[in-house]
Structure 1
Amino acid sequence: MAIKIDTRYPSIDDLRNKARKKIPKFAFEYLDGGCNEDVNLHRNTSELREVQLKPNYLRNHGGSSTKTKLFGIEYDAPFGIAPVGLQGLMWPNSPEILAKAAFDHNIPFILSTVTTTSIERAAEITEGKAWFQLYHPTKDELRDDILKRAEAAECPVLVILCDVPSFGFRPRDIRNGLAMPPKMNISNILQAFGRPHWSLQTLKHGVPGFANLLPYMPKDLDLKQLGKFMDQTFSGRLNEEKIKPIRDMWKGKIVLKGVASHYDAEQAIRLGLDGIIVSNHGGRQLDAGESTIKPLTSIAEKYGNQIEVMMDSGIRSGVDVARSLASGAKFTFMGRSFMYGVAALGKNGGNHTISLLKTELQQVMEQICCEKVEDFPNHLI
């Protein structure tokens, strides 16, 4: 797809600033915040940006390509759209906007179990190319039914999440009534009135809900009952006994997301999984944990020839993508960056953000004389 950037917003920071002005405070803080004191949220990006790249200016250079293969599929760039819950809260219809943009640009889009568009709709938009991320249900029959739906939708990759054994402690969300069970308060209502474009779009598309879970939810749940339903329906804690039946049932590729230690990487390999995403959930789960770039480097070095090693959390630019690839990641994913784009620019946000990241990454590759994505480690200082 042709690269087209809105020159008013030539960085993710510009999109973030615009998003802050476009959407209600409670929605922006849900998107933007980490957990506890936000220490690991900021560490993710600051420590990633300590990575330096070496240029080789006098080398013969035949041009650079951002194309790369992952699980036998060639993508136009080595980054994709990470799963994000409740996307429609931040901008109405945003998962569909992002799924379409990902399809048009030939990059992966991962749909979350708890976002606001269904597996079936995402598959329709992407012609069966959307990946699916599973929050582990407490009941086997619900797990099996969701997996059958994902298989019927021809999702090529299943992502299972291991870093949510408990809900992250997020003070902003608690103050704003977005913890479980959620609740609306007068402050939220006033904030919505102060963002008329967001409010009108929400009225047009309907109040966001958990689209994938509608077949399993009792009708007319109030907010308190919704919290109880979610607590009873899902358990974020994974172990070998929970992963084995998924591996037996799912015939496609399986990726474990949330890996932050050698132990979990070794377990993923032993259980026959196809890939891991080194991640700390965007700094939203463990404030006292490491930044993602720290375990990525050693995990990729030790296990990169046994399993596909990817990364998310803290990546905010095409330059950050380059830093991650040079440090050993085979592929990268971003969540907030794309949501800032959609919150800022609505239906044009997905295409703009992908185009911006592609342009930044291409510039880095040309600057350091890196012809192929897989050559990035040769430029790590």
Structure 2
Amino acid sequence: MSKKILYKYNPRYPSIADLKIKAKSRIPKFAFDYLEGGANEELNLVRNESDFDDILLKPQYLHVAGDIDMSVELFGRRYSAPFGISPIGLQGLMWPNAPEILAKAAAKHDIPYTLSTVSTSSIERIAEVSDGKAWFQLYHPTEDRLRDDILRRLKEVECPVLVVLVDVPSFGLRYREIKSGLSMPPKMNIANVVQAMLRPLWGIKTLQHGIPSFATLKPYMEKGLDLSQLGQFMNRTFTGKVNVEKVKAIRDIWKGPLVLKGITTEEDMQASIDIGVDGVIVSNHGGRQIDAGESSINSLIRLAQNPLYTGKTKIMLDGGIRSGVDLARAHAVGADFNFMGRPFMYGVGALGDEGAEHTINLFKAQLYQVMQQLTLENISQFPGRLIQK
């Protein structure tokens, strides 16, 4: 008989759907729409979640299993669970101080938190609060000078893993952001002011922690930029497609683990392996870039189950995971590791400082229960419980 482990979380919010409802009641509409929105008609955003439903697992009730171990080794480090927190831009806009809340909780629970270049805390601050455990996602700058300086700062804080985002040759056309004024340059219109006033706790917390800004990029900005000039800076600084040569240049500079995020096709997968990256994150940017694409989980199935790529690099997933059951499904079809973004923002938006730990424990508890039900001892056994169609 295996021993049972309890993961404590607030029983009033036993699912990600519960956290989402609560978060929506506490975050101003314009900020919640930024978190929720997808590209164009948001069809791919829906597919990201719904396509998990087609993956079925089989239990073996008479199988004798020992103690459950959901830890996973990745890039020379063992993490307590097979998931981490995805990079999201403007996190502090959706809930004040969100990057620090999430980074601290991730470090405490020994899972990776990934800071985005366009999030609202700096490289140095997140390294401090995470005890140097946080990963970093790079939006590739137009100028090599800026790229090199960001890489220098990452080396100085001994960032363990660099993630290079490759799926933003242009910013996605997101209707919710256009209507709310959160495109570039952002606009704080009258409707947004009213929405903020209807969420007083968010307003109080924002005053406590300050107006959110692109903290990592501050050293490269001229002082006193107005919103229009900020938009021009962002467009000037990050307009440009990431290609093989740019990734090779980073591979030559960065000696630690290098991961490419946004891989969905065989062509890009093979190119990644040829470059010598240590891992890829299969992702369609949360359904925020191209509406006519396939779901992240279906892309993962094609790539992870292709024998050409077996053992060549770590294949991870980001997109559509909303429960421990989804985590189990992802591992059953070949994921080595997983990342979630929106669920953790729902948690912080719903429960503030307690929300990050709540969401981590919620995913752990749900995944643990699935492993009990399937009589599994470790994550590597999930593919054997996939029902093949």
Q: TM-score, normalised by structure 1?
A: 0.99
Once the 2 structures are TM-superposed, how far is the Cα of residue 215 of structure 1 from its aligned partner?
A: 0.4
C-alpha distance in structure 2 between counterparts of 1:136 and 1:295, whole Å? 23
Once the 2 structures are TM-superposed, how far is the Cα of residue 186 of structure 1 from its aligned partner?
A: 0.3
AA in 1 matched with 2:375 = C
Pairing partner for 1:334 from 328, 340, 349: 340
Once the 2 structures are TM-superposed, how far is the Cα of residue 63 of structure 1 from its aligned partner?
A: 2.4
Matching of residues 16-35 of structure 1 within 5 Å: 16-35=20-39
Counterpart of 1:183?
187
Once the 2 structures are TM-superposed, how far is the Cα of residue 238 of structure 1 from its aligned partner?
A: 0.8
Deviations 1:106-145 (A, max 9, x none): 0001000000001111111111111000000011110000
Pairing partner for 1:255 from 253, 259, 273: 259
C-alpha distance in structure 2 between counterparts of 1:260 and 1:236, whole Å? 19
Once the 2 structures are TM-superposed, how far is the Cα of residue 323 of structure 1 from its aligned partner?
A: 0.6
Counterpart of 2:177?
173
Pairing partner for 2:269 from 265, 269, 276: 265
Pairing partner for 1:76 from 73, 76, 80: 80
C-alpha distance in structure 1 between counterparts of 2:358 and 2:275, whole Å? 39
Counterpart of 1:147?
151
AA in 1 matched with 2:58 = K
Q: Secondary structure at the match of 1:69?
A: strand
Q: Does 1:354 align with 2:356?
A: no
Gaps of 5+ in 2: none
1:231–1:28: structure 2 CA closer, same or farther, 3 Å change rule?
A: same
Q: Percent identity?
A: 60
Counterpart of 1:244?
248
Matching of residues 1-381 of structure 1 within 5 Å: 3-302=7-306, 303-381=309-387
C-alpha distance in structure 1 between counterparts of 2:243 and 2:316, whole Å? 21
Q: Any conservation in 1 of the 2:132–2:157 contact (CA below 8 Å)? A: yes
Once the 2 structures are TM-superposed, how far is the Cα of residue 301 of structure 1 from its aligned partner?
A: 1.8
Q: Secondary structure at the match of 2:54?
A: coil
Once the 2 structures are TM-superposed, how far is the Cα of residue 2 of structure 1 from its aligned partner?
A: 7.5
C-alpha distance in structure 2 between counterparts of 1:143 and 1:370, whole Å? 44
C-alpha distance in structure 1 between counterparts of 2:133 and 2:235, whole Å? 30
Q: Any conservation in 2 of the 1:162–1:236 contact (CA below 8 Å)? A: no
CA-based RMSD of the aligned residues comes to 1.0
C-alpha distance in structure 2 between counterparts of 1:310 and 1:241, whole Å? 23
C-alpha distance in structure 1 between counterparts of 2:147 and 2:140, whole Å? 7
Deviations 1:201-254 (A, max 9, x none): 001100000000000000111111000000111135111111111000001000
Once the 2 structures are TM-superposed, how far is the Cα of residue 15 of structure 1 from its aligned partner?
A: 0.3
Once the 2 structures are TM-superposed, how far is the Cα of residue 66 of structure 1 from its aligned partner?
A: 1.0
C-alpha distance in structure 1 between counterparts of 2:7 and 2:158, whole Å? 28
Q: Any conservation in 1 of the 2:6–2:365 contact (CA below 8 Å)? A: no
Q: Any conservation in 2 of the 1:63–1:366 contact (CA below 8 Å)? A: no
Q: TM-score, normalised by structure 2?
A: 0.97
Once the 2 structures are TM-superposed, how far is the Cα of residue 49 of structure 1 from its aligned partner?
A: 1.9
AA in 1 matched with 2:297 = I
Q: Any conservation in 1 of the 2:60–2:374 contact (CA below 8 Å)? A: yes
AA in 1 matched with 2:147 = R
C-alpha distance in structure 2 between counterparts of 1:210 and 1:49, whole Å? 37
1:325–1:119: structure 2 CA closer, same or farther, 3 Å change rule?
A: same
Q: How many residues align?
A: 381
Once the 2 structures are TM-superposed, how far is the Cα of residue 33 of structure 1 from its aligned partner?
A: 1.3
Q: Any conservation in 2 of the 1:135–1:235 contact (CA below 8 Å)? A: no
C-alpha distance in structure 2 between counterparts of 1:374 and 1:2, whole Å? 22
Deviations 1:87-124 (A, max 9, x none): 00000000000000100110001000000001111111
**Deviant stretches of 4+, over 3 Å:** none
Q: Secondary structure at the match of 1:178?
A: coil
